[in-house]
Structure 1
Amino acid sequence: MLSPSRLQGVGTVQPWDNPPGTVGVGRLARIPVRHLRDEEPGCPMNRALSVRRDVFAAERVSSKTPREEFPFALVQELLDQLESGAAQSIEEAMERCSRTRSRCLPQHVTWSAAAAERYLDARRRDQESRDGADVPRTFRAPDAWIAFRTLEEPDERGITDYERTVWGRQYVSDDATLRELVIPAKGGAKERLPLPELAAVASVLYYGTPARIPSFEHHSPALRHPAPPPRPERVRVYSAGLTEGRVRLLRTTETDVFADWTAEEIMDLHEQHVVPRLGRVLDSRERIAGAHCAGCKALPECSVVPRVPALLVFPPPTRPRKRRTVSVSDLRAHHDCPARYHLTRVLKLPSSVQENEAVRRGRAVDRWLNVRHASADAPPCREVPLPADLPGLTDDELAPALGMLRAHRARCPLDNPAATRFRPQHRVMAHDPQSDVMVIASCDLVYEERGGVVVRETKTSAFPPGGRSVLLEKHPQLALSVLLLEAGVLGGDSRRSRVELEILRPDGVSLEEFDPGDEGTVEHARTVLASYTVPWSVETRYDAVPRPGYDCTGCEALSWCATGKERATAAG
């Protein structure tokens, strides 16, 4: 299918050397389609390392989790049982999926059962619509399609086995001339995907051979079907909305063409859009810190991730578990209710709860300020006319928001002649090796001033602020910023650094400051965060136990949570 030169793509092929902290031979490259996306976020070195499945962390990290963390795990198993005919009902399929079900929260089980039923209904309607059309019905393919390329000797990269994979529900027509992939989405069915991504999917479906990846030997080559069928004449790619209950044939973002291609079209798309990206994934060595770092094999030795032992208070782990990432938003969700954290922050199940006016207003104000503060060369906000409208707000909601923007003019950091290098929505990461947790902070604005670093958080409120001590407790992200500055994670001289809290009201503004060089402030910040981190770090059950006073009616997981519904009903 591909000669060695055709896999080079653009640039120079780099021989593989294991980065510090990793071991292995690097002969097997298993490349999922998501790594070929143009806009795929993350670290190029992490991608190049992750696709080399027989390269490992020198010090093995546990992959154990107390609860199922893949949102589609149970849905996929239920559909496998039902579409194969092994089970005749959701109830029977649930019984056959008892192992996975036992690892899921009850709310996750409820969502999965409803999602599977909606998917099957959508598939049935789609198949019935084909009667009399030029598209034949399709049926579940028992094995995954994997596109292989095997060499007798290692190539320039040291690789002998290339495998490209796709994720989704795979189907084939009775005569094997049509192959289809349905990609589940938790919410509504997607309408479009970028052409390179769809071309990569279609390429795997066309070139792919039925195969199975060994369950407990993911570092070994996939096991191919001994008598692979002929390649198809046609490939189609769909999206399925598990909340919406709809199956939709995807279109390309760039040309609005349906992902419905012949063999000749796929071969051409493969050469244009897939081959160059394969080389880029395999050969890139740039390192970029981000949320993906928690799963990286080379994290303990990475040169771009700050390491801060005991940054936060975590009790010593009592049992091995997967390395985790945590943010203040995660901690607050867990503080509200452990189940809410797992369902909305880990599984990210779709929400049916509408945002209230205060949330929409805060987001609209933040967006406008972020654009304004993106450049140190921009004029201060007092020199810029207020917007005529703000996206997401009604006419009645606009006036208070404009009042907040007007109040901001008195405290705009662009008015400070000593302020430089403005970074709105700046993401900060640090690895705490003592607890093996990646800590992530998303700061509203970071800028520099006379050798120090300033972190500014902006909040919108209809009420005046409380005392400074109360503010750290009310806004724990301020406490985290204090500790990050004190540890030097953001650079600069901590003696010249500070955390600012700007509170915007329709009729005024206040600005509070917190000194990371003050021992009392640092200890208070550490104590505030410990009240969140200690319960989060030892959690294993994630039961629905809302804290006293928490209003379940605003919870994003309410649709799936019996406890939340009972509390909401009782509250009237």
Structure 2
Amino acid sequence: MHRTHYKPADFEPFALATVMRRLDVLEFGRVREDPTRVRPSHPGLERYAEHAVDQYLAAVKSLDPGGELLPDPQYWVRQSRTAADPHGNRTVYELRVWGRCYANRERTVCELRLLRFGSAQPGKRGSGERDPAEIAMAAYVAAYGGRAAEPTRWRDEHSVRDAVTPQRVRVVEIGCLDGSVGPLFDGTPDEAEAAYRRLAAPRLRATVDAVHRRPGSGCVTCRLTAGCSDLPRTPGILGIKDFSRPRRTLSVTDLRRYANCPAQEHLRRIHLPYDKDIEHNHHVARGHAVHAWLQRLHARTPRRPCTVADAPAERTDWRVDDWHLTGDDAELGARLIARHAAVCPLRHADPGTTPIAERLLTFYDPEADVVLTAKPDLLYRSRGSVVWREIKSTKYRRPLGNKDVLEQYPQAALALVLLAEGMLGGDVRHSRVEVEILRPSGPDLELVSPRQADRIATARQVIRDLAAPWHGDRRSNPNPGRHCVRCEVARWCPAADTLPVSSPSSGLH
């Protein structure tokens, strides 16, 4: 199978790696990685890393006030080898922890500190819960792993030595946003091994034995992507012929962010903590709530079209998933859901077929070396053809301006091109894109057919105009303007000190 040559990213793609390097310099006077592998960090990431290191050092004082634990410059690795085959060959499996490793001088206590982008406090935004299997594996390696330096080549196994089993193992996580500390494991090596056998080992075994392929955002780092037969190929869909750039994922959301501000798109791409209260103002929250409510209705069993009675019964206070609406927003949201009943796509779905809501679709454009992802609001079949429905909601009773629907909603442009190229199957002659816009006065439904050559040309131009600047950009500079006040990552922006941006709030995620 064809393998793609390594193409280094313009900037460090893993934000916590930059934090780790800064801590390496503080604790060991050097970066432990091979300098040739280190990519420069975006200036916005440098701002975050500086803040994260300060928060980490503050957290350490509460973890080890007496300074009894010393940082270990070596990596902790647990190795196992299979039985030799008839030719004497063995397979080496390695588990290596990724975090800050500490031990007392006698190595009777080993402590692994895992970093988290946001907060380590339960219930705080950006906290979440770590997978128990991940915690068990980390504790197991801390208990039974040996010490090893970074291999010269990434494919080489570690040269493990100094495997001394401690008496006590601790695993904690530290929130780089607020310096919070969350205990994850504290016990003996025997307890760590028992947790590993129960929680982690079955998952690892299933991973090693897995043979099926599942296209998704992970394709971006797979060395077999270029020749993978399970990843649908869409050559030229972006209208870009440039294979020289590093492979990246791309969605319409990414393109819209980039058009607003290249720095914002990059800082969100690398998952820096963002202010969710800014990103999800009450208009956006209402849109998400309406969308989530309709998604639940379309997933009901047995499948049936929506009716006016399916709207929230309590019109001024209702909740769905993580979205809670009250007052005018709740009343408007409920009214928009009721309006949807008149144009519900399930009225036209072929009997015996299953509409699909919010399924991630993945495609590969080999001419641009881009993994493209999309998530249709609803896919259904009508007269044997695939129909892609996008649902939008607004407080405005009539359209603002005369903008083409494909330009206003680039996801519709992408949907049209994918249907035209037959990427979703079915009878392309009757396929269509439906853009449903829910208004207080009633729904608008605009249909676009892949049989319309002029509409296909417009859709392709919309995608190319958005994708080409993003694809060729090597700097991801800020785009200062009034929109900075509503930027959810303004705290980390390189231009933040010179702009009247909003102050950081407790909504950082």
TM-score (norm 1): 0.79
For the 8 Å contact 2:144–2:164, the answer to whether it is kept is no
In structure 1, the partner of 2:506 is none
- Name the residue aligned to 1:274: 200
Is residue 398 of structure 1 aligned with residue 330 of structure 2? yes
Q: Mark the CA change 1:565 to 1:519 in structure 2 (over 3 Å): closer, same or farther.
A: farther
Deviations along 1:463-510, one digit per CA (max 9) or x if unpaired, are 223578522111111100001111111111111111111111233211
Q: Residues of 2 paired with 1:74 and 1:456: CA distance?
A: 41
1:101/1:61 CA distance change after superposition, 3 Å: closer
Instruction: Spell out, residue by residue over 1:87-143, the C-alpha distance to the aligned partner (whole angstroms, 9 max, x if none).
Output: 9xxxxx9xx999999812221111110110111111112222xx6xxxx94221111
**Structure 1 counterpart of 2:247:** 323
- Report how far residue 212 of structure 1 moved: 1.9
Report the Cα offset of residue 202 of structure 1.
1.0
SS in structure 1 at match of 2:286: helix
Q: Report the 3-state secondary structure (helix = DSSP H, G, I; strand = E; otherwise coil) of the residue aligned with 2:454.
A: helix
The yes-or-no answer on 1:234 pairing with 2:168 is: yes
Distance 1:305 1:439 in 2: 11
Aligned with residue 304 of structure 1, among 230, 236, 256: 230
Identity %: 33
Structure 1 residue 371 corresponds to structure 2 residue 288 = no
Give the Cα–Cα distance (whole angstroms) in 2 for the partners of residues 469 and 561 of structure 1. Answer: 31
Whether the 8 Å contact between 1:344 and 1:556 is mirrored in structure 2 is no
**Worse overlay, 559-568 or 357-366:** 559-568
Amino acid at match of 2:295: N
CA–CA distance in structure 1, aligned partners of residues 48 and 37 of structure 2: 14
Match of 1:515 among 449, 459, 462: 449
Task: Give the letter aligned to residue 378 of structure 1.
Answer: R
| 1:285 and 2:217 matched | no
Q: Does 1:179 align with 2:105?
A: no
CA distance in 1, matches of 2:169, 2:39: 37
What are the Cα deviations for residues 442-462 of structure 1, in whole angstroms up to 9, with x where unaligned? 111111111111111111112
State how 1:444-523 maps to structure 2 within 5 Å.
Answer: 444-463=377-396, 464-465=398-399, 470-523=404-457
1:142 corresponds, among 49, 65, 73, to 73
Matched, 1:79 2:23: yes
Q: 2:484 aligns with which of 546, 552, 562?
A: 552
The one-letter amino acid of 1:530's match is R
Residue in 2 aligned with 1:350?
A: 273
The residue matched to 2:294 in structure 1 has which SS? helix
**Letter of the aligned partner of 1:509 in structure 2?**
P
Instruction: Give the secondary structure class of the aligned counterpart of 2:70.
Output: strand
Instruction: Judge conservation of contact 2:121–2:180 (CA < 8 Å) in 1.
Output: no
* Structure 1 residues 42-441: aligned runs within 5 Å: 58-84=2-28, 86=29, 103-128=40-65, 137-150=68-81, 153-154=84-85, 159-189=90-120, 191=122, 192-215=129-152, 217-225=153-161, 228-250=162-184, 259-317=185-243, 320-345=244-269, 347-352=270-275, 354=277, 355-375=280-300, 377-382=302-307, 384-387=309-312, 388=314, 389-390=318-319, 391-416=323-348, 418=350, 420-441=353-374
Counterpart code for 2:16:
F
CA distance in 2, matches of 1:268, 1:160: 24
Relative distance call for 1:59 and 1:269 in structure 2 (3 A) is closer
Secondary structure of 1:516 counterpart: coil
In 1, the alpha carbon distance for the partners of 2:363 and 2:35 equals: 38
Gaps (5+ residues) in structure 1? Answer: 1-20, 22-57, 88-92, 251-258
Please say if residues 61 and 322 of structure 1, whose CA atoms lie closer than 8 Å, have aligned partners that are also in contact. no
1:305–1:430 contact (8 Å) kept in structure 2: yes
Given that 1:324 and 1:438 are in contact with CA atoms closer than 8 Å, whether structure 2 keeps it comes out as yes
Check conservation: 2:484, 2:501, Cα contact below 8 A: no
Deviation beyond 4 Å, 4+ runs, structure 1: 96-102, 154-159, 466-469
CA-CA distance at 1:152 after TM superposition: 6.9
Structure 2: distance between partners of 1:545 and 1:247 = 36
CA distance in 1, matches of 2:484, 2:37: 27
Q: Contact conserved, 1:151 with 1:160, CA < 8 A, in 2?
A: yes
Kindly indicate whether the alpha-carbon contact (under 8 Å) linking 2:336 and 2:438 is maintained by their aligned counterparts in 1: yes
Moved more, 486-495 or 268-277: 268-277
Write the letter of the residue equivalent to 1:519: A
Relative to structure 1, the CA distance from residue 158 to residue 426 in structure 2 (aligned partners, 3 Å threshold; closer, same or farther) is farther
The 1:247–1:269 alpha-carbon spacing in structure 2 relative to 1, beyond 3 Å, is same
Please say if residues 339 and 545 of structure 1, whose CA atoms lie closer than 8 Å, have aligned partners that are also in contact. yes
The answer as to whether partners of 1:73 and 1:100 remain within 8 angstroms in 2 is no
CA distance in 2, matches of 1:244, 1:500: 45
Shift of 1:156: 11
3-state SS of the aligned residue for 1:223? coil
8 Å Cα contact 2:490/2:501 also seen in 1: no
Contact 1:375 1:422 in 2 (8 A): no
| Contact 2:3 2:224 survives alignment (8 Å) | no
Q: Is 2:493 the counterpart of 1:568? A: no
The aligned residue for residue 470 of structure 2 is 536
Query: Once the two structures are superposed, what CA deviation does each residue of 1:352-393 show, in whole Å capped at 9, x if it has no partner?
Result: 251211110011111111111124623322164422312322
Secondary structure (helix, strand or coil) at the match of 2:182 reads: strand
Deviation at residue 146 of structure 1 after TM alignment: 0.3
SS of alignment partner, residue 311 of structure 1: coil
Deviations along 1:67-104, whole A, 9 cap, x unmatched? 111101221111112233x39xxxxx9xx999999812
| Other structure's SS at 1:393 match | strand
- Contact 2:242–2:368 (CA under 8 A) maintained in structure 1: yes
Give yes or no for contact 1:199–1:274 (8 Å, CA) kept in 2. Answer: yes
Is 2:376 aligned against 1:443? yes
AA partner of residue 436 (structure 1)? D
Secondary structure of the residue that 1:481 maps to in structure 2? helix
Structure-2 separation of matches of 1:116 and 1:271: 34
d(CA) in 1 for partners of 2:497, 2:354: 48
- Aligned with 1:568: secondary structure? coil
- In 1: Cα distance, 2:48 partner to 2:6 partner: 28
Distance 1:467 1:375, change over 3 A: farther
Q: In 2, distance between residues paired with 1:245 and 1:503?
A: 44
Work out the CA distance in 1 between the residues paired with 2:220 and 2:174: 29
- Cα-to-partner distance string for 1:226-246 (whole Å, 9 max, x where unaligned): xx1521111111111111211
Q: 1:569 Cα deviation (Å)? A: 5.5
Q: Match of 2:23, SS?
A: helix
User: Higher mean Cα deviation, 452-461 or 186-195?
Assistant: 186-195
Give, in whole Å, the separation in 1 of the partners of 2:310 and 2:100: 52
Rounded Cα–Cα distance in structure 2 between residues aligned with 1:240 and 1:59: 38
SS in 1 for 2:197: helix
C-alpha displacement of 1:158: 6.8
Query: Structure 2: where are the runs of 5+ without partners?
Result: 123-128, 503-509
**Contact 1:553 / 1:564 at 8 angstroms: preserved in 2?**
no
Q: In 1, Cα distance between the equivalents of 2:497 and 2:407?
A: 29
